[in-house]
Chains A and B, each alone.
Chain A
Amino acid sequence: MRRSLLVAVASCAVALVGGCDKSIGPFEVLPALDPSSLDPAAGSWHMILLTGPTQIAVPAPATVTSAAYVAELDAIKTSQANLTADQRKTIAYWSGGGVMRWNQIVRELVARYNLPPAPKDEGGYPVPDAENPFGDPAFPFANPVYAARAYSYVSAAQYDALKSAWYWKFQYNRLSPAKNDNAIIALIPISGLPSYPSEDAVISGVTVEMLKTLFPAAVEEVTLKAAEQRNAALWSGKATASDLAAGLALGKSVAAVFLARAAGDGMRTAGGSAVLWKALADSATARGEIAWVSRDIPARPPMLPLFGQVRAWNMTPADIVAERPPPPPSTGSQLMKDETAEVKRTVEHLTAAQLAIAQKWNDGAGTYSPPGHWNDVALEYVRDAKMSEVRAARVFALLNMAMNDAGVGCWEAKYHYFNPRPSQLDPSIKTEIGIPNFPSYTSGHSTFSAAGAVILSYLFPGGATSFAAMRDEAGISRLYGGIHYRTDIEAGKLHGERIAGYTLSYAQSDGAQ
């Protein structure tokens, strides 16, 4: 009886933890891409930075009857006859779609690098150094606005590169090897999309070049991934070596255009200087307001105070200033006292459901950031819509340009007003999530989310109700977390919607509707 009791306890215990298999995943599964449309007109869709689809010339390919091309076909047959299990896995992985796969990879990079520098023993903080990306601190600190900009550069560059690729594809009309030679097996769904230049190689080339600058310490990993992507296209019967070479060259050339813009867009100096940080505080004090002070211990310099002057995609610097939200309640006003009291009341009586919302949208240090969260949301819609690579790139480009511009506008407002966090005005307020190291007004989450919801609702009208609910939840999550006043959230939402209007105008006349 004793033994059976013990056995009973032991077996209950094992049942309790759910047996031995604890494996999870795979996550965000991407079935083999089989687009519902080839989007043959994408070569004429409006460019973002390129002057037109022919700015980067792609030379004419060899004919399908040429000896060189036949040799390329033979090489594919040899590869296909000797495929290993690992190679087949690579093919399956990349068959999910290059734009979506790279979006997943960039989100992972953001999460990896989204950590602030640790304080130095002698006091103060080191500054991440692009020339020493492997050091401590690593470069970059992929904070929300760094991330917003990074997502936008990768997405916009992919989009322009693919539009150009589409132009040349239909210019030369050389079909994929599996269509040109019956002995080559289509190991993935292969459409009638011309394969010269290869879209997979275009995406791999443009993305890796952007990431080498944006996340230089990840160079080895992303270079290997990109080579895998091109190999997968070859092994699967989708592209020949010359399809890939032409695509790779085109992708790299387009990246150079975007990197030239990035080098001079103001990011390099967005960190400001000690003189600037003091001037920002003095300016708020001169207006009779309590100036923001870092809540970090030791106090940390404000995050990228000049990001508000970084070049936006679809707004001029004058637009950014013109759209700046009206001032927040004065720090001495009754309204501000009431709003501070509301924050305190909220965190002290937080329900489990409210905490869940605060954590769901926290997207703080060490995560893929709020713009990453909206990319996460978008991906499932892109996947389910079975979009061509170029149309998928359009979604992410529009979404991320709008969120980048939201970041620029929000940061311009934050550092213009330099408004303190609730826990600064009332130090007895303790937060349910980490507190971001920049001024309070307006809420970045609210601004990013409102901008993201506008763009996604335009592109996926069926999801509009859901996007609006997510936008509102993301906004109010900051009050639940104890890090924002209600006014920050409401003003941020309106601001984000106005900012997204600029990208929306572009989208409504880009020739892709």
Chain B
Amino acid sequence: MLTRTLQLLTLVAISASAAGAQTSDDGLMIAKRTLAAGVVYAHDRWDQYWEGTLKRTNGNIGTLTTQSTTLVAAYGVTERLGLIASLPYVRTHASQGVLHDLNGFQDLNITAKFRLLGTGPTRHGALNAFIAARAAVPVGDYTPDFYPLSIGTAGRRASGHLTLDYQSNSVWFANASAAYMWCSNVRLNRNAYYTNGQLYLTNEVVMPNVLDYTLSAGFNRGNWRVPVTLVQQRTLGGGDIRRQDMPFVSNRMDYVRLGGGVMYGLPKNFAVQLGAAHVLSGRNVGQSTTFTSGLMYALHL
């Protein structure tokens, strides 16, 4: 079985690495009156993207690289309730063309996670259900009007998550999760924009809400945890990128991404994680490959 420290550090790591992907769904809880903190670095790059459904390259972008460094902290309020906070610093860069890099603090994420139901240990393993609520607020004064170099949507978001987790009596685990995210409208610095077949004579942009589905499976053994994760994001509205147009903040950004990782618990309450993910299919997003690495520390209060 997974050591307790690694378990909670894993939770934090997953939470942080998903900062850009709006999902934090897994079957772990943080131990009561334990504080964990860490930093996760992610390196994401693509040189092909989907313009609507058309996959293409773009000489004026070349390879788009997004690097993020995320500070993350989690605290176990009770055995059943945990709080997680994360804040990424994001930097984007296009390898070709004249467009300027952007960088800055993105959005502060706060998540409250609650273990709703659990079977406790049984002959066949343990089944638990979790719910979580998450809020994200932009902290930096960054622009959402410079995609694909913008570091975020600059909108406020709130999401509800439901997770079912199964842990076998041996080393295997599997979980499934769904999340619905409400996105606030965002404001641009210009008073007219064209998207989704219409000219809008306002600086306000309606942001479509987002559904995420996550399936994850793997094993826990001793100091090791090795998950494989499949994420599908479905944006509930928004227009496609037009032919040879720049992407726009409210585009319908859909993808299916497969990822895997390794987490390892070090002595003295430290843990490290490495991960990789790749977008298998998408719409109005880059076909990115992401590598993550993280270091966490736990403090039992």
Contact = CB atoms under 8 A, between A and B. Distances in A.
Given A14-B182, A136-B243, A366-B242, A435 B98 contact: yes
Interface in A138-191: 138
Contacts of B62: 297
B200 A430 contact: no
Contacts of B198: 108
Binding site secondary structure of chain B: loop
A118 B243 CA distance: 7
Interface residues of B, number: 57
Contact of A359 (B59, B157, B188, B245): B188
Q: Which among B141, B188, B192, B197 has the highest number of chain A CB atoms within 10 Å?
A: B192
Contact of A430 (B98, B155, B202): B98
B110 A9 contact: yes
Interface stretch (B18-26, B127-135, B168-176, B257-265): B127-135
A112 B197 CA distance: 7
A6 B131 contact: yes
B2 interface: no
B126 interface: no
Nearest to B204: A24
Interface in B49-65: 56, 59-60, 62
B185 A2 contact: no
B206 interface: yes
A115 B244 contact: yes
Given A6-B81, A13-B158, A18-B185, A352 B191 contact: no
Contacts of B183: 17
Contacts of B207: 22
A237 interface: no
Contacts of B182: 13-14, 17, 20
Interface string A356-372: 11011110011110001
B158 A434 contact: no
Contacts of B202: 24-25, 27
A355 B190 CA distance: 11
Contact of B156 (A16, A20, A429): A16
B112 A5 contact: yes
B301 interface: no
Interface in A96-128: 104, 107-108, 111-112, 115-119
B100 A431 contact: yes
Contacts of B81: 2, 5-6
B137 interface: yes
Interface in A258-300: 295-298
Nearest to B94: A430
Contact of A118 (B98, B192, B206, B244): B244
Given A6-B81, A115-B242, A365-B246, A296 B189 contact: no
Interface in A398-444: 423, 429-432, 434-435
Contacts of A112: 194, 197, 199
A139 to B, nearest CB: 13
Contacts of B143: 355, 359
A357 B189 CA distance: 7
A512 interface: no
Contacts of B78: 2
Nearest to A299: B59
A3 B156 CA distance: 24
B192 A376 contact: yes
Given A116-B244, A297-B97, A13 B206 contact: no
A23 interface: yes
B158 A482 contact: no
B244 A117 contact: yes
A355 B189 contact: yes
Q: Which among B133, B157, B206 has the highest number of chain A CB atoms within 10 Å?
A: B133
A27 B96 CA distance: 38
A356 B194 CA distance: 18
Interface residues of A, number: 60
A14 B134 CA distance: 10
Contacts of A356: 189
B100 A296 contact: no
Contact of B206 (A22, A28, A297): A22
A12 interface: yes
Given A9-B133, A112-B194, A115-B243, A24 B185 contact: yes
Nearest to A9: B112
Interface in B61-117: 62, 77-78, 80-81, 96-101, 110, 112, 114
Contact of A17 (B146, B156, B199): B156
B160 interface: yes
Contacts of B200: 24-25, 27
A362 B199 contact: no
A302 interface: no
Given A111-B192, A360-B189, A435-B98, A2 B114 contact: yes
Nearest to B207: A22
Contacts of A434: 99, 246
B156 A359 contact: no
Given A2-B81, A296-B59, A359 B189 contact: yes
A308 interface: no
A489 to B, nearest CB: 19
A16 B135 CA distance: 8
A439 to B, nearest CB: 15
Nearest to A7: B133
A108 B110 CA distance: 40
A432 B114 contact: no
A435 B243 CA distance: 18
Contacts of A297: 59-60, 62, 96-97
A357 B191 CA distance: 11
Contact of A365 (B99, B156, B245): B245
A364 to B, nearest CB: 9
A401 B202 CA distance: 26
Given A6-B131, A9-B135, A359-B145, A368 B199 contact: yes
B201 A431 contact: no
Contacts of B201: 27-28, 104, 376
A347 interface: yes
Given A24-B202, A27-B201, A12 B244 contact: no
B15 interface: no
Q: Which among B112, B137, B155, B185 has the highest number of chain A CB atoms within 10 Å?
A: B112
A299 B207 CA distance: 35
Interface of A: 2-3, 5-6, 9-10, 12-14, 16-18, 20, 22-25, 27-28, 104, 107-108, 111-112, 115-119, 136-138, 295-298, 347, 352, 355-357, 359-362, 365-368, 372-373, 376, 423, 429-432, 434-435, 482
10 contacts: A2-B81, A13-B135, A22-B207, A111-B192, A347-B100, A360-B189, A367-B194, A368-B194, A376-B192, A482-B98
Given A108-B198, A360-B189, 18 more contacts: A6-B81, A6-B112, A6-B114, A10-B160, A16-B135, A16-B156, A17-B155, A18-B156, A24-B206, A108-B199, A111-B192, A118-B244, A137-B244, A360-B191, A366-B245, A367-B194, A430-B101, A434-B99
